[in-house]
Chain A
């Protein structure tokens, strides 16, 4: 069995002349994957296209081996979707009824849908509130109901589009923990779409970075972060400028950030720093390794893109 759960080939979606996604070719591996990018980057358009809500203008896509054009209903039954929008649902319907109804729309029998709705609501932590009307729920609870309704039919893939939007820190952490647990405890494949880098970093192992409808980068988050701006932070006293120039002359990438001199890590960087300090009579007050975050990768990618443009 292929380890990719979703593959797309030159997938494009245009809204008239406006580009939603353009020739997107990705291979989404099993496990947890983050769709990362600013608002309007094309993440939601790709998700909606994969679910058959939007018809692609060009290209092909497969989800769990099913072609989205010819076998979309099989795809839908295997995906649990948490939409981005802050729905108010059906305000005077109970959470239990709503989630069970969602199950029936995915083909669950009446009694099965009720039982699974109960299970799902307990799973997301709304067991005691399941007979409360949705109109009385807080935003965080509504997000959990969305998660329960995405889980009720036991899908293989959960797609969560900006699931932490509008949540307070506690709600946000709860939601991310639930999503993480789905991957680790329940063996689901999770796609988390977000413009919040920390959400993706905390929840998934693999990231696909979107910008203006195109893929900017994709890969394992560890690889993405280790290859780029892993650096050594240095704080020096005396002759700072000489020290900087010495390192630059030796071919190192050096920049200043947050009061530190950052030296991009390559082979034997630490020794080179000590040599430069020695040669320029500079006193090193601090030297520490700084591993780059997804945010650094993100900033770099967008900086490079703007540079190219």
Chain B
């Protein structure tokens, strides 16, 4: 017997291999354990996550400095009527930037987000970073388990639906830290910095921002996890997801805007544009403009019975989320269990 095993034996004798006499925690705790374990592990190992959060906070800081230093000029110049409006339009513009690669196709509303500062100098970079990081981090969520064969260990301890919920939960933690939280912080900073704002008047905006970012989280989660469950190679899953989302956002608008009068229904096949339009629905706007890459504005009315309608947009997102979740369920219950 080696010295080492003697030491181990002595440890076990000293502290004993105690029988467990406590109460086992419930199912939700176990699901949460999967999500939280993944997040803390990603956080501790991934420099990219830390970098992106740093980048997010930096852009928000720059935005705040710009807004707060120019607040009086913006009001005096007549660009904004009140500090509430500055907060509202700055935040909406920033939040829409999450799903807009190109400012050219970003919505130009007749209502909120119109006229004033649009935060465009931060938007393109942030949205690309968010997508890249979401894909980079999320695509390994299930693919790594298949590749490392750790899914067998999960399935021996948990129901498969608990495993799926745990993985979605993991992505939601990531999404909330990367996507939702910075904009909630931004809301708080602008609210405090601008001053003289009635909280009750702007509180609905906060809820709208949270609702929209959660919709983005859910959609990204469904798509990224679906691709992650289809392969044991994280790289393949990530590249495919990114290429599909990125290329669709490049190609589809070009096809949809080819007619100079109306936007084609092809636009419904671009996830990012669907999310962009859904932000208008969440903000309660049905009439706005989308600007094509060559700068031509296209009016959109989501409730006039012509072209793209609000129900189509929400239905499209719903269908994408549903298909994504179904793919994950089928893969986990059928293919990974044989």
Contact = CB atoms under 8 A, between A and B. Distances in A.
Given A105-B157, A108-B20, A53 B15 contact: no
B43 interface: no
B7 A87 contact: no
Contacts of B150: 87, 89-90
Contact of B19 (A79, A93, A154): A154
B24 A77 contact: yes
Consensus secondary structure, chain A interface: loop
A79 B41 contact: no
A187 to B, nearest CB: 9
Given A87-B150, A105-B30, A107-B24, A73 B159 contact: yes
Given A53-B337, A119-B17, A127-B7, A85 B149 contact: yes
Contact of B20 (A93, A105, A116, A128): A116
Given A108-B20, A108-B24, A53 B155 contact: yes
B45 interface: yes
Nearest to A79: B156
Nearest to A182: B17
Nearest to B166: A105
Interface in B10-34: 11-12, 15-20, 22, 24-27, 29-30, 33-34
A107 B26 contact: yes
Interface in A94-129: 97, 101-102, 104-109, 112, 116, 119-120, 122-123, 125, 127-128
Contacts of A90: 41, 144, 148, 150
Interface in B150-174: 150, 152-159
A88 B149 contact: yes
B157 A106 contact: yes
Contacts of B148: 87-91
Contacts of B147: 88
A90 B40 CA distance: 13
Interface in A121-161: 122-123, 125, 127-128, 149, 151, 153-154
Contacts of B70: none
A123 B14 CA distance: 11
A125 B8 contact: yes
Most buried by A among B24, B26, B337: B24
Nearest to A112: B22
Given A108-B20, A128-B4, A153-B20, A54 B12 contact: no
A15 interface: yes
B25 A107 contact: yes
A101 B33 contact: yes
Contacts of A109: 22, 25
A283 to B, nearest CB: 49
Nearest to A16: B338
B69 interface: no
B156 A76 contact: yes
Nearest to A174: B5
A51 interface: yes
A107 B4 contact: no
A268 interface: no
Listed from nearest, the 10 A-B pairs whose CB atoms lie closest are A107-B24, A154-B20, A104-B33, A81-B156, A87-B149, A105-B157, A85-B149, A83-B152, A122-B11, A107-B25
Given A107-B24, A108-B24, A122-B15, 17 more contacts: A76-B157, A85-B149, A92-B41, A93-B41, A101-B37, A102-B157, A104-B25, A104-B30, A104-B37, A107-B25, A109-B25, A119-B15, A122-B11, A123-B12, A125-B4, A128-B7, A153-B24
20 contacts: A51-B155, A53-B337, A54-B337, A72-B159, A76-B156, A86-B149, A92-B41, A101-B37, A105-B34, A109-B25, A119-B15, A122-B8, A122-B11, A122-B15, A123-B12, A123-B17, A128-B7, A153-B20, A154-B18, A186-B17
